[in-house]
Amino acid sequence: MLHARTLTDEERKQLRRMARCEVGRVSQRATLILLSGRNKNVSELSEIFGMSRASVRLWIHRFNQHSAAGLYDEERCGRPHSVQAD
């Protein structure tokens, strides 16, 4: 069964702050890791957050390897979308 590794007190504080202050998906991912640390399994997390099991596993693995920094999106190649005013 896959879970986030045991969190240090400092990591737990950082994840709680991220869950409150970060925007959108990063906040969601921080909450996901906190719940995983409370022994919620991949299927439960998938249902709670409305994401695939593969995505849940990806974010748990990224956290386990890179700590909280792994919860941010990686840089993407290519030109960003532009917004056109009407």
The model's pLDDT over 48-63, given as tens digits with 9 standing for 90+, comes to: 999 999 999 999 999 9
**pLDDT at residue 86 greater than cutoff 70:** no
pTM to 2 decimal places: 0.84
pLDDT band, residue 85 (cuts 50/70/90): low
Q: How far apart are CA 4 and CA 78, in angstroms?
A: 32
Contact between 19 and 31 (Cβ < 8 Å)? yes
Interacting residues of 6 by C-beta distance below 8 A, sequence separation 6+? 37
Tell me the C-alpha distance between 33 and 47, whole Å: 14
Q: How far apart are CA 71 and CA 17, in angstroms?
A: 13
Residue 24 is given by DSSP the state: T
Answer whether 37's CB lies under 8 Å from 6's CB: yes
- The mean pLDDT value for 10-35 works out to 95
- What pLDDT score does 20 carry? 95
The mean predicted confidence, pLDDT, of the chain is 92
Identity (one letter) of the amino acid at 23?
V
